[in-house]
């Protein structure tokens, strides 16, 4: 009888743990400028929903960052580059997989310069 009660309690705890991690997605991303073939080391990436700030991370020497445990939904990313430029991007966390990869391209997020070739 004591073993049966313990088994039920353990099953309940495992269900709570599984439910709390269900839908949590790790987002691995990279901040780049495809037009200049460069990556941004030391860029700050701030995830937010509306006006509510979420995780804030810095990119590594290869321009990569990782944010763990995001809920499914749409996020606005505020990116500040090491040279002071900043821009915004959007990402939709699907929740369909444990890890989602995104690439944030500076050249797609800002208006072209007059001297850019088309």
Beta-strand ranges (E) seen in 1-113 are 25-33, 38-39, 44-49, 52-58, 64-70, 73-80, 86-93, 99-105
Tens place of pLDDT per residue across the chain (118 aa):
555 555 444 444 433 344 344 579 999 999 999 988 999 999 999 999 999 999 999 999 999 999 999 999 999 999 999 999 999 999 999 999 999 999 999 998 876 665 555 4
Per-residue DSSP letter, 105: E
As a whole number of angstroms, the distance between CA 80 and CA 95 comes to: 26
pLDDT score for 105? 95
State the residue for tokens 């073939």. Answer: 37
Q: How would CATH label the architecture of 24-107?
A: Sandwich (2.60)
Write down the pTM of the prediction. 0.74
């Amino acid at each position: 009888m004591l073993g049966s009660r313990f088994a039920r309690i353990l099953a309940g705890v495992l269900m709570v743990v599984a439910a709390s991690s269900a839908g949590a997605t790790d987002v691995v991303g990279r901040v780049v400028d495809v037009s200049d073939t460069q990556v941004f080391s030391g860029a700050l990436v701030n995830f937010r929903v509306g006006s509510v700030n979420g995780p804030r991370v810095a990119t590594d020497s290869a321009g990569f960052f990782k944010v763990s445990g995001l809920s499914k939904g749409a996020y606005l990313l505020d990116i500040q580059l090491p040279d002071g430029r900043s821009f915004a991007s959007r990402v939709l966390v699907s929740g369909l997989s444990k890890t989602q990869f995104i690439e944030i391209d500076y050249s797609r997020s800002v208006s072209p310069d007059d001297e850019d070739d088309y």
